[in-house]
Chain A
Amino acid sequence: DMRAVGKWTWLTLLRSDEIRDEYDVIVVGGGHAGTEAAAAAARLGAETLLITQKIMTIGALSCNPSLGGVGKGQLVREVDALDGLCGRAGDSAGVHFSILNRSKGPAVWGPRAQLDRERYRQFIQSELLSTPRLTVLEGSVDELLVSQPNPEEPGHHRVTGIRLVDGSHPILSSSVVLTTGTFLSGSLFMGQTTSPGGRMGDAQSCAGLSYTLKETLGLRVGRLRTGTPPRIVKESVDLSLAQLQAPDKQPTPFSFLNTHTRCKPEEQLPCYLTHTTPGVERVVRESVHLNCHIQQDTKGPRYCPSIESRVLRFPGRRHQVWLEPEGLTSDLLYPQGLSMTMPPDLQLRLLREIPALHRAEIRAPGYGVQYDFVCPTQLTPSLQVKSTQGLFLAGQINGTTGYEEAAAQGLWAGVNAGRTALSLPPIALSRTQSYIGVLIDDLVGRGVTEPYRMFTSRAEFRTYLRPDNADLRLTPRGFEEVGCVTLRRYKKAVSVRDGLQEALMALQSVALSSTRWREKLGNISLSENKSTTLNGLDLLQYKDVSFEMLASAFPECLSQYFEYSQRLKIEAVYRPHCEKQSREMERIRSEESLSLPSDMDYLSLPVSLSHEVREILDRVRPNTVSLIYASKVILIKYIIMTTDGNRKFR
C-alpha cells in the first residue's frame, strides 16, 4: 500500500541523529499493547517515543482478522471508554459486525467485528501520527539502561532509558514500557524445523533485552506457546459447501463516540462455518511424528490452541471451523480453529479433508511460536515491575493472549508510565469496576500457567461490568483522576450520564397500581397483586415491557428519552442485582486500596500464622490485602489435594 508508506517516509528520516536524547516515556513495540501505551502516555501529557522494528507493521493484525467477542468485546469497550484506539479502529476497519450472545442477556453480549487488515493498520498509523507529543522511531532495542533505585521508593533498580542496536548513544527516559509480544527469545515452529523469531517474516527477537530482564533485573520468566493457521486463497474455496453466517443487519459500533461504522450495513461481508471430518483427525495422527510443536505440547494449556491438540484431546468429534474474510479487497480467508504446526504439505492435505476446502490453496502456512513471558506476579497493579522503578510491561510479555487483552494492558501501562514520568502517583483499576481491573488483578495476583484470555466468567461482578455502561464506569474517572481521556469524550459521557439519570428519575416518577398498568399497557403478566404500586422502572424489569411501551403510555414525561431506550431497559433489569452486590463490591474495593509492602518479611512476621500460610504469602507477595483471597484459594486447593492423599500440588 503506497499511501501508507508515503505517510511514514518523514518519520523514517528521523532515524538516529534527529531524535532527542531524552523522552518522558519510551514504548518498545508497535503492536496492540505498544500503540495503546504510546497513545495513552502522550494523551496524559508525556513526551513519548514509540520504537518499533518496522514502522509498516504498526497496527498490523498478526493473527486473526477480528476484534471483540464475549469478554473481549467488553475489554474493547473499556479501552474505548478510556479514550484508547482499538474501539475506533475497529469501527473504521470492521467489515462484518455482530453482537454475540444476543439471546443470553445484555451483560454477556459480545460486540465483535471481522476486520479489514489494511483499514485497521491505516487507522492506527494515522491516529498515532496525529497524536501530539508522540514520536515514532524504527529500530531495535539492544538493552535497557538500568541504574541505582530512587531510595524514596520501593525497588532495587531504576530504568533510565534504552540503547538501540545500531545507536552509539543512549536514549534516556523516566519510564519504559516493554510490549515485545512473542519476540522475547521467540522461536518459530513448523513441522520439524525451528527458527528464531517472534513472527514469520519479521526480524529476530532481541537477545539483549532478554538478557537484561533475566540476568540484570533477575526476573523470573516462563515459556508459552501459541500458533496461527494457514491463510487460504479465497478463490480456491467452495463456499457453497459451507454455511453462510450473515452479520447483524445494523452494525453496532464499538466506540461510544461513534453512532455508525465506516462500513455501510449492506457492504458487510459474510463469514462461513464448516466442520472438521474424520480425515482431518487421521492427518493429524499420521503427522504427529513430524510435528515438533505438538510433541512438546504434553504440558500444554487446558484449552486446545491448535487443531492438533483438539483432535488428540477430543477425538471422534466434529470441530467447528470459521472461514473469515481478511478484508474488503483481500483475496484470502482466515480459517479460525485451524491453527496448526505440521509441515506445509501436510497442512494442505489436512485442509483438503474438509469438503469446502477440497481444492484449497495455501498462501502462507500456519506455524507455532514459543516465547518467553515474564511471570506477571512480579508486577504491581500499575503494571510496573516491582523491583525496577519506571519499567512497565504489557501484552503477551505478561503471559496473555489476544489483541484486546494486550490493548487493555498497554493502555494502563502507558497511563502509569506517563504518570511516573510526570511525577504523579501510580493508579490502579479495581476488579469491581472493570474487566481491565479483573485482567490486571488476575495477572499480578495469581500469575499465569497458560496464555491468559478474558472470559466473562472471570468477573465476579459481571452484571455490573457490562458493555453498555463502560463509558459511565470509566470515562469520568479517566478524565478527572487519570488524565487519559480528552475533554470531548468526557463531555459526551457526562451528558449521557445526566440524561440517563434524568430518564431513570422520570421513570420512577410514574407510579400506578398493577391493575392500572394492565389497563394502560394491555395484556402483560405482572406477578404482583392488584393493589401493589409499581413505578415505571419496576415495570421495565419485566420481560415483555419495553421503554417504548412506557413512553407511549406517558409521552409527556418519557418521550424525550427515546435515545436511551435500550440502555434504560438494560439498567432496569440489572439494577436490583447490582444493588445486592454493592456491599461486596465496596468491601473488595476497600481491601484493594490497602497495599502491602513488597518487601514484607512474612516468614518472621510476629503474628500467629502457620508456616504453610507464611510460605504461600512469601511466594505470592500480595500487592494488596485483597489478594490474600488469592492465597486462600491456593490454600483450599492444597487442602483438597492433600486430603485426597495427593501431594502433587506442592
Chain B
Amino acid sequence: MLPCSWGLWRSAIHTLKTFRASPSARGLCIPTRAVCDAETIFALSSGHGRCGVAVVRVSGPASSMVLRNMAGLTQALPPPRTALLRRITDPQSKELLDRGLVLWFKGPHSFTGEDSAEFHIHGGPAVITAVLQALGSLEGVRPAEAGEFTRRAFHAGKLGLTEVEGLGDLIHAETEAQRRQALRQMDGELGRLYQDWSYRLKRCLAHVEAFIDFSEDELIEDGVLNQVDSSVRQLETEIERHLKDERRGERLRTGVQVVIAGATNAGKSSLLNTLCQRPAAIVSPIAGTTRDIVETSLDIGGFPVLLSDTAGLRDSSDSVEREGVRRARQRVEQADLTLVVVDSTQLPPDPQLVPAFLQEHLSTVLPSPEAGMKAASDRVLLVLNKSDLVPEEQRERTEGELRERPGLPPACFLSCSTSTGLEDFLTVLQSRVKTLCGDPLSGAPSLTQARHRAHLQQSVQALNQYHQYRDQDLALAAEGVRLALTHLGRITGRVGAEEILDIIFRDFCIGK
C-alpha cells in the first residue's frame, strides 16, 4: 500500500507546484534585501542521553565568529567540511571546556544553506551543558526553536517539498514537536507562571486592540488604556525579577518520558518497581492503590528515562481518585512512550479474540480512540502482566496471534512477580527509548532554560516599545505588546488573532 501512495504523492505535489503565487511586488516600505540578517542559532543535534560523542550544530551568519571564539581560531578558518581537533574554550572566561572536532561549512554548502559550524564533543551532560551555555553567552547567538534547522534548510531550498520526507519533517517540526513541547511546558510551577503572564499579556493586547478597532464606534472608555499601562508595568517588573533570580524556579524534567498506564490492579506499580529494582511505589492487591503520579528517574541502556506510574483508569466516586485518574490521562497525553499494562488473566481464553480485545482496551486508555490504532506502533508498548498465571500453551498461542499484528503496538508477556519475560521486554523497551532519544526534544533542560531566558528578555524589551509609543502611535505601541506576546508564546504556545478577539468580545460589547 505504501509504495503506491508514495508515487501518487510525488506526482500530485509536482503538478501543484505550478500553482505558486507569483513573487509579490514590493511596496516602498520593504527594502529589497535578501534574508541575510537572520539570527544565528545553535542546538544539540545528536539527541539526548549518554553517548560517546555529542554534536552541537550552529547555523547563521555569526557561525564563523562562533568558531573563531570557541575553537581559538585566530587566523584562518579551517577548510570547509574538514574535521579539525581543537581545544574548545569558553569565549568569556577562556576556560577549557573540552577537546573535540570542529567543522566549518561555508554557506550555501551546508544543511541549512547558511554558514554553519559543528562541534563534536564528548557526550557527558556536564560538557554538553557547558558548551551550550558558552554558545548562549555570545552576542547574536541564541538557542534554536523546535524544528528551526529543518525550517531554515527548507527555506534555503535544501529540503524539497517534493520529497515526502521533507514535508513530513516540516509538519513534524511545526506541529508535532510544538505540541509535545507545549504540553510539557504547560505543566508544573514554572509553566503556570508563564501561563499567567501569557494570559495577562493577552488581556493587555486585547484591550489595546479593542481600543484601536472599536473605540470609534462603540463605548470603550479611555480608562482602558490606563489599566493597560499599569498592567504592562507590573508584568515588566515581574519578568525582570524572575530573570534576575538565579535559582530560576524548579528543575525542568529531563529525559524521555515513559508513562505506565492501564486499568486498576493490572500491576502498573509492580512494573515500576521491577524496572527500577526498588519499591518506589506502594503495591497492594487493592484496586486504586496508586492515586497520584509516582515518578522515578531511570537509566535504560545509557539513556535517561523519567518513568511515571499513574493511577489505574476507572470511573470512581472518590474525588481524590478521580483527580488521580485525570492526572494519569494528562500524563499519558504528554508521554513520549506509554506502557499500557494489561492483566493477562483478563485476556479472552480464545487467542483469536485477543487482538480485538486489546484494541478495545487501548481505546479506553489512550487519549483519542483512533490514536490508539495508528500512533500505536511507535509510542505505545503493551505489557501483558501476570503471565505466570496464564497456562503456557494459551500464552504461546496468544503470542503467535499477536506477532507483527498491524494496527497493534508490540506486546510483551511479562510477570513482574517471577521476572519471566523481563529480559525480552527490556530489549524492546531499550530500542524504543534509544529511538526516542534521537529526538532532541526529549530532554536537554539546560537548553530549554536558555531558550526561555532569551524569550523572556526579548519580551521585556518589547514591552518597552509599548511605553515608548503609547502617546505617539498606538499601532506601534500595540506592536510592542504583540511582540512581547509572540516571544512569550514561543514558550507557552502561539497566540493567534482569534484568541485576542475572544477576549475583546467577552470584555466589551461590540456590535455588528
Is there a chain B Cβ closer than 8 Å to A562's Cβ?
A: no
**The residue from B12, B31, B169, B171 contacting A599, defined by CB atoms under 8 A apart:** B12
**The residue from A611, A637, A645 contacting B375, defined by CB atoms under 8 A apart:** A611
Q: Once bound together, how far apart are the Cα atoms of A154 and B14, in whole Å?
A: 12
Complex contact A425–B30 (CB within 8 A) = no
Interface residues of A in 88-123 (CB under 8 A from B): 100-101, 103-108, 110
**The residue from A101, A319, A639, A645 contacting B493, defined by CB atoms under 8 A apart:** A639
Complex contact A457–B501 (CB within 8 A) = yes
Complex contact B5–A597 (CB within 8 A) = no
**The residue from A500, A504, A603, A639 contacting B179, defined by CB atoms under 8 A apart:** A639
Q: Once bound together, how far apart are the Cα atoms of A304 and B218, in whole Å?
A: 11
Contacts of A637 in B (CB 8 A): 499
Complex contact B29–A578 (CB within 8 A) = yes
Contacts of B161 in A (CB 8 A): 594, 625
Is there a chain A Cβ closer than 8 Å to B357's Cβ?
A: no
Complex contact B176–A613 (CB within 8 A) = yes
Interface string of B161-173 (1 = CB under 8 A from A): 1001101111110
Given A571-B28, A613-B176, A615-B370, also A639-B186 (CB < 8 A): yes
Is there a chain A Cβ closer than 8 Å to B419's Cβ?
A: no
Contacts of B17 in A (CB 8 A): 594-595
Complex contact B21–A104 (CB within 8 A) = no
Beta-carbon nearest neighbor of A574 in chain B: B29
Is there a chain A Cβ closer than 8 Å to B20's Cβ?
A: yes
Interface string of B210-228 (1 = CB under 8 A from A): 0111111111000000000
Complex contact B378–A70 (CB within 8 A) = no
Complex contact A617–B171 (CB within 8 A) = yes
Interface residues of A in 71-85 (CB under 8 A from B): 71
Complex contact B176–A629 (CB within 8 A) = no
Beta-carbon nearest neighbor of B371 in chain A: A611
Interface string of A463-491 (1 = CB under 8 A from B): 11000010011101100110000000000
Contacts of B219 in A (CB 8 A): 317-320
Query: Contacting chain A: which of B33-41, B118-126, B420-428?
Result: B33-41
Q: Once bound together, how far apart are the Cα atoms of A582 and B26, in whole Å?
A: 11
Q: How far is the CB of A465 from chain B (nearest CB, A)?
A: 9
User: Max chain B CB contacts within 10 Å: which of A226, A339, A480, A633?
Assistant: A633
Beta-carbon nearest neighbor of B36 in chain A: A583
Complex contact A609–B22 (CB within 8 A) = no
Q: Once bound together, how far apart are the Cα atoms of A303 and B218, in whole Å?
A: 12
Is there a chain A Cβ closer than 8 Å to B511's Cβ?
A: yes
Beta-carbon nearest neighbor of B39 in chain A: A583
Given A578-B29, A609-B168, A609-B171, also A643-B183 (CB < 8 A): yes
Complex contact A105–B473 (CB within 8 A) = yes
Q: How far is the CB of B491 from chain A (nearest CB, A)?
A: 12
Complex contact B171–A456 (CB within 8 A) = no
Contacts of B109 in A (CB 8 A): none
Contacts of A497 in B (CB 8 A): 28
Given A463-B476, A543-B472, A577-B479, also A69-B2 (CB < 8 A): no
Contacts of A645 in B (CB 8 A): 326, 330
What is the number of residues of chain A that contact chain B, defined by CB distance less than 8 Å? 118
Query: Contacting chain B: which of A24-32, A140-148, A403-411, A426-434?
Result: A426-434
Given A430-B21, A628-B171, A639-B179, also A606-B6 (CB < 8 A): yes
Beta-carbon nearest neighbor of B14 in chain A: A597
Complex contact B186–A592 (CB within 8 A) = no
Is there a chain B Cβ closer than 8 Å to A640's Cβ?
A: yes
Complex contact B502–A633 (CB within 8 A) = no
Given A573-B473, A575-B29, also A583-B37 (CB < 8 A): yes
Contacts of B1 in A (CB 8 A): 604
Is there a chain B Cβ closer than 8 Å to A349's Cβ?
A: no
Interface residues of B in 296-355 (CB under 8 A from A): 326, 330, 333
Q: Once bound together, how far apart are the Cα atoms of A304 and B17, in whole Å?
A: 43
Contacts of B15 in A (CB 8 A): 154, 597
Is there a chain B Cβ closer than 8 Å to A610's Cβ?
A: yes
Complex contact A610–B179 (CB within 8 A) = yes
Interface residues of B in 56-102 (CB under 8 A from A): none
Beta-carbon nearest neighbor of B12 in chain A: A597
Is there a chain B Cβ closer than 8 Å to A214's Cβ?
A: no
What is the number of residues of chain B that contact chain A, defined by CB distance less than 8 Å? 91
Q: How far is the CB of A619 from chain B (nearest CB, A)?
A: 13
Contacts of B509 in A (CB 8 A): 304, 310, 313-314, 317, 319
Q: Once bound together, how far apart are the Cα atoms of A105 and B5, in whole Å?
A: 53
Complex contact A427–B22 (CB within 8 A) = yes
Interface string of A414-454 (1 = CB under 8 A from B): 00000000000111111011000000000000100001010
Contacts of B472 in A (CB 8 A): 105, 543
Is there a chain A Cβ closer than 8 Å to B387's Cβ?
A: no
Q: Once bound together, how far apart are the Cα atoms of A429 and B22, in whole Å?
A: 9
Interface string of A573-588 (1 = CB under 8 A from B): 1110111001101110
Q: How far is the CB of B448 from chain A (nearest CB, A)?
A: 17
Is there a chain B Cβ closer than 8 Å to A642's Cβ?
A: yes
Complex contact A500–B28 (CB within 8 A) = yes
Q: Once bound together, how far apart are the Cα atoms of A466 and B457, in whole Å?
A: 30
Contacts of B277 in A (CB 8 A): none
Q: Once bound together, how far apart are the Cα atoms of A457 and B209, in whole Å?
A: 6
Interface string of B474-504 (1 = CB under 8 A from A): 1110010000000000000110111111101
Q: How far is the CB of B181 from chain A (nearest CB, A)?
A: 10
Is there a chain A Cβ closer than 8 Å to B155's Cβ?
A: yes
Given A302-B505, A446-B498, also A612-B371 (CB < 8 A): yes
Contacts of B30 in A (CB 8 A): 464, 578-579, 582, 585
Is there a chain B Cβ closer than 8 Å to A605's Cβ?
A: yes
Q: Once bound together, how far apart are the Cα atoms of A74 and B21, in whole Å?
A: 22
Q: Once bound together, how far apart are the Cα atoms of A319 and B35, in whole Å?
A: 49
Given A590-B155, A600-B9, also A613-B475 (CB < 8 A): no
Complex contact A401–B512 (CB within 8 A) = yes
Complex contact A463–B212 (CB within 8 A) = no
Beta-carbon nearest neighbor of A592 in chain B: B21
Q: Once bound together, how far apart are the Cα atoms of A593 and B22, in whole Å?
A: 8
Q: Once bound together, how far apart are the Cα atoms of A600 and B161, in whole Å?
A: 13
Q: Once bound together, how far apart are the Cα atoms of A184 and B121, in whole Å?
A: 67
Q: How far is the CB of A199 from chain B (nearest CB, A)?
A: 16
Complex contact A105–B498 (CB within 8 A) = no
Complex contact B176–A609 (CB within 8 A) = yes
Is there a chain A Cβ closer than 8 Å to B418's Cβ?
A: no
Contacts of B38 in A (CB 8 A): 583
Contacts of A616 in B (CB 8 A): 175
Is there a chain A Cβ closer than 8 Å to B193's Cβ?
A: no
Q: How far is the CB of A20 from chain B (nearest CB, A)?
A: 31
Q: Once bound together, how far apart are the Cα atoms of A226 and B35, in whole Å?
A: 45
5 additional A-B pairs beyond A105-B472, A633-B498, beta carbons within 8 Å, are A304-B510, A583-B37, A593-B23, A600-B9, A642-B367
Question: Could you give 9 example pairs across A and B, Cβ below 8 Å?
Answer: A432-B24, A455-B501, A593-B20, A595-B16, A597-B16, A612-B367, A613-B179, A615-B370, A633-B498
Q: Which 9 residue pairs of A and B lie closest in terms of their CB atoms, listed nearest first? A: A607-B168, A105-B473, A302-B505, A477-B25, A105-B475, A597-B12, A107-B475, A104-B474, A636-B493
Interface residues of B (CB under 8 A from A): 1-2, 5-6, 8-9, 12-13, 15-25, 27-31, 33, 35, 37-38, 155, 161, 164-165, 167-172, 174-176, 178-179, 182-183, 186-187, 209, 211-219, 326, 330, 333, 367-368, 370-371, 373-375, 378-379, 472-476, 479, 493-494, 496-502, 504-506, 509-512
